[in-house]
């Protein structure tokens, strides 16, 4: 996957430009008042995301890679995510929308100039060892910044979903492909034995995905597709929210305190469930993967169903392990970059595809939609792989390692392909459900007592 300088330069420009197109759409589609307003204490005002994207791009590409002086050093602290929690951000003297846009354009123009002059070709001849060029190896710093921007595009789409008021975004037509879920087995077997988890070769993989290492996984069954709204509604109808047997002690306490009774954005309308989606109310579609559930809800559903959440290693083995070669793939379907037939990515349809869609994206085990559609909660805490080393900065992953965060895998419909792969790891608190989160369940193939 190491590329020549020109091909790499083209790919970087394409990814940066694609990310910016989405950022622009997400921020041009609302008025100034909506840009500066805080729509939830969980989220930044959109205008913060806008200038923060530019500030990170300036910091890593113009300053670290290009050796330039800061353009506006006085604004750095405002856009440092670790200095100010989201709830505080609206009180800061943020750049107003016109200035934030101008700053972003100025940084991007200089970055594209820098890209033109960067001689990636040199790296083919031992470049990684040259002073300071580890950031440039395979264009990593540019890749990191492209991923950072599309991750904020997902964050901004979450803000759009929270925002009150009518619809401002338009979904692509036609919607994602219909599914043949009725003909699919409900679960598939993943064989036991070791597989390679994580990566040491994926050029733009982030530090928490590294290094590749062998993990032994006992045989298990995993759902062919994510749990649907229809199945989840049965859990609710069966009193699942009112029965502490299905909940962990922490989960039950949270369910009581937060008054959980259905996924976020669901409500009853007469005899049916409806949900609010980007400013519109519609009947819940039973065939779609359930969205906006927290880890506690996912875990309780799995117990109710007589199953459990997969571990992170199980999820990755289901997604990547190819028994024919014994190797781990970059994606469930193979090593090729995602195309439209593989997965629902990139905010194109603004919703998950019906469970069982995307046969061309199936993993060797037969599971579908492991990439795209909904982030999938796993049972695992977020931790380092053996041999982990923080890079290029501790705050990317290392400061989040610990039992307070659960790992999510696979990426949602809101994720761009550049920030989505079989090894990609996301993490969040088990109470969070404003994110585009769903899940699938698993069970051990060998009874635990055997
Ligand atoms: Fe950020």
**How far away, in angstroms, is 235 Cα from ligand 1 center?**
36
CA of 95 to the centre of ligand 1 (A): 16
211 preceded by a cis bond (ω within 30 of 0): yes
Distance 52 CA to ligand 1 centre (A): 7
Q: How confident is the model at residue 86 (pLDDT cuts 50, 70, 90)?
A: confident
Q: How far is the CA of 146 from the centre of ligand 1 (A)?
A: 11
Query: What gap in Å lies between CA 157 and CA 161, rounded to an integer?
Result: 6
pLDDT of 443 > 90? The answer is yes
Q: What percentage of residues in the chain have a pLDDT greater than 90?
A: 88
Report the pLDDT value the prediction gives residue 436, as an integer from 0 to 100.
98
* Mean pLDDT, range 386-398, rounded to an integer: 94
Q: Does the N-terminal peptide bond of residue 174 adopt cis geometry, omega within 30 degrees of 0?
A: yes
Of the pLDDT bands very low, low, confident and very high (cuts 50, 70, 90), residue 122 is: low
Going from the Cα of 104 to the center of ligand 1, the distance in angstroms, rounded, reads 14
Residue 127: pLDDT band (50, 70, 90) is: very low
**Cα(77)–Cα(92) distance, integer angstroms:** 10
**What local confidence, expressed as pLDDT, does residue 283 receive?**
98
pLDDT, greater one: 23 or 448 = 23
Per-residue confidence (pLDDT) for residue 131, from 0 to 100: 40
* Residue located via tokens 């869609």: 357
Q: How confident is the model at residue 134 (pLDDT cuts 50, 70, 90)?
A: confident
Q: Give residue 406's pLDDT.
A: 98
- Asked whether the beta carbons of 291 and 344 are under 8 A apart, the reply is no
Asked if pLDDT for residue 128 goes beyond 50, the answer is no
Ligand 1 centroid – CA 82 distance (Å): 10
392 preceded by a cis bond (ω within 30 of 0): yes
**Ligand 1 center–CA 182 separation, angstroms:** 41
Q: Ligand 1 centroid vs 179 CA: distance in angstroms? A: 35
Name 31's Cβ contacts closer than 8 Å, sequence gap at least 6. Answer: none
Report how far residue 323's alpha carbon sits from residue 448's, in angstroms, rounded to the nearest whole number.
Answer: 24
Ligand 1 centroid – CA 297 distance (Å): 28
Neighbours of 334 (CB within 10 A): 13
Residue 111 token pair: 């970055």
How far is ligand 1, taken at its centre, from the CA of residue 60, in Å?
12
Q: Rounded mean pLDDT of 278-298?
A: 97
Decide if 445 contacts 187 (C-beta within 8 A).
Answer: no
Cβ atoms of 370 and 226 within 8 Å: the answer is: no
- Taking the centre of ligand 1 as the mean of its atom positions, its distance from the CA of residue 436, in whole angstroms, is 18
Q: Collapsing DSSP states into helix, strand and coil, what is residue 90?
A: helix
What pLDDT digit, counting tens, does each position of 158-201 carry?
Answer: 999 999 999 999 998 877 766 666 689 999 999 999 999 999 99
Please determine, for residue 448, whether its predicted confidence score (pLDDT) is greater than 80.
no
Sheet holding 187-190, edge to edge: 187-190, 220-223, 442-444
Q: What is the mean pLDDT of residues 252-269?
A: 98
Q: What is the pLDDT of residue 3?
A: 73
Q: For 408, phi and psi rounded to 5 degrees?
A: -115, 145
Query: How many Å lie between the centroid of ligand 1 and the Cα of residue 152?
Result: 7
Question: What is the rounded average pLDDT of the residues 374-393?
Answer: 97
Helix (H, G, I), strand (E, B) or coil at 335: coil
- CA atoms of 236 and 250, how far apart (whole Å): 19
CA separation, residue 123 to residues 60, 118, 334 (Å): 19, 10, 27
Distance 61 CA to ligand 1 centre (A): 14
* pLDDT score for 130: 39
- Cα 447 to ligand 1 centre (Å): 43
Does 254 have pLDDT greater than 60? yes
Q: How far apart are CA 233 and CA 148, in angstroms?
A: 35
Gap between the Cα atoms of 15 and 3, Å rounded: 15
Q: What is the mean pLDDT of residues 323-341?
A: 97
Please give the Cα distance from 77 to 407 (Å, whole number).
29
On the question of pLDDT at 125 being above 50, the answer is: no
Q: How far is the CA of 63 from the centre of ligand 1 (A)?
A: 17
Report how far ligand 1's centroid is from the alpha carbon of 81 (Å): 6
Ligand 1 centre and the CA of 53: distance in Å? 7
CA of 291 to the centre of ligand 1 (A): 23
Instruction: Give the mean pLDDT of 90-106.
Output: 96
CA 294 to chain centre: 15
Ligand 1 centre distance from Cα of residue 145 (Å)? 9
CA of 56 relative to ligand 1 center, distance in Å? 7
Tell me if 200 sits within 8 A of 212, measured CB to CB: yes
Mean pLDDT lowest among 86-95, 223-232, 345-354: 86-95
Contact by Cβ (8 Å): 306, 245: no
| CA pair distance 121, 135, nearest whole angstrom | 14
Instruction: Tell me 394's DSSP state.
Output: G
Q: Tell me, in angstroms, the distance from the centre of ligand 1 to residue 410's CA.
A: 20
Measured in Å, residue 7 CA sits from the centre of ligand 1 at 27
Q: What is the pLDDT of residue 126?
A: 42
Ligand 1 center to 245 CA (angstroms):
39
Q: How many CA atoms lie within 13 A of 166 on its CB side?
A: 1
Q: Average pLDDT, stretch 279-297? A: 97
Compute, in angstroms, the gap from residue 54 CA to the centroid of ligand 1. Answer: 10
**Mean pLDDT in the chain?**
94
Ligand 1 center to residue 171 CA distance, Å? 25
The DSSP-derived string for 179-227 is P-GGGS-SEEEE--EEEEES-SS-TT--GGG-S-EEEEE--EEEESSPP
Give the pLDDT score at 446: 82
Across 46-55, average pLDDT:
97
How many Cα atoms within 13 Å fall on the side-chain side of residue 377? 32
Confidence label for 153 from pLDDT (cuts 50, 70 and 90): very high
Q: Averaged over 422-441, what is the pLDDT?
A: 98
């Amino acid at each position: 996957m190491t590329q020549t300088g020109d091909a790499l330069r083209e790919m970087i420009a394409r990814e940066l430009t694609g990310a910016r197109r989405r950022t622009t759409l997400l921020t041009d589609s609302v008025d100034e008042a909506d840009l500066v307003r805080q729509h939830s204490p969980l989220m930044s005002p959109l205008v913060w995301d806008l200038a923060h994207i530019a500030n990170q791009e300036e910091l890593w590409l113009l300053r670290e890679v290009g050796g330039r002086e800061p353009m506006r050093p006085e604004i750095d602290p405002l856009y440092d995510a670790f200095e100010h929690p989201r709830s505080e951000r609206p009180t800061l003297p943020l750049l107003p929308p016109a200035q934030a846009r101008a700053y972003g354009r100025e940084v991007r123009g200089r970055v594209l100039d820098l890209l033109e002059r960067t001689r990636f070709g040199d790296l083919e001849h031992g470049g990684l060892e040259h002073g300071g060029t580890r950031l440039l190896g395979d264009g990593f710093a540019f890749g990191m910044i492209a991923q950072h921007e599309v991750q904020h595009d997902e964050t901004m789409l979450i803000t759009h979903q929270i925002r009150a008021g009518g619809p401002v975004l338009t979904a692509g037509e036609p919607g994602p492909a219909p599914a043949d879920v009725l003909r699919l087995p409900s679960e598939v077997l993943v064989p036991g034995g070791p597989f390679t988890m994580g990566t040491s070769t994926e050029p733009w993989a982030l530090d928490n995905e590294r290094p590749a290492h062998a993990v032994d996984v006992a045989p298990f069954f995993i759902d062919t597709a994510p749990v649907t709204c229809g199945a989840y509604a049965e859990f609710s109808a069966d009193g699942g929210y009112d029965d502490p047997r299905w909940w962990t002690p922490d989960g039950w306490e949270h369910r009581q305190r937060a008054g959980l009774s259905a996924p976020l954005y669901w409500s009853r309308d007469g005899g049916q469930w409806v949900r609010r989606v980007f400013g519109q109310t519609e009947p819940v579609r039973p065939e779609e993967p359930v969205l906006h559930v927290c880890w506690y809800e996912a875990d309780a559903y799995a117990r109710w169903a007589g199953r459990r959440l997969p571990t992170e290693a199980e999820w990755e083995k289901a997604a990547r392990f190819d028994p024919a070669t014994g190797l781990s793939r970059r994606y469930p379907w193979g090593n090729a970059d995602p195309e439209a037939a593989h997965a629902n990515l990139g905010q194109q349809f603004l919703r998950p595809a019906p469970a069982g869609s995307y046969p061309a994206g199936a993993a060797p085990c037969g599971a579908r939609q492991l990439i795209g559609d909904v982030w999938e909660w796993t049972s695992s805490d977020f931790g380092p792989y053996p041999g982990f080393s923080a890079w290029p900065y501790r705050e990317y992953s290392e400061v989040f390692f610990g039992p307070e965060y659960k790992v999510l895998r696979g990426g949602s419909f809101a994720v761009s392909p550049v920030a989505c792969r079989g090894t990609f790891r996301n993490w969040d608190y088990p109470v969070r459900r404003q994110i585009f989160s769903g899940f699938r369940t698993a069970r051990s193939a060998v009874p635990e007592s055997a």
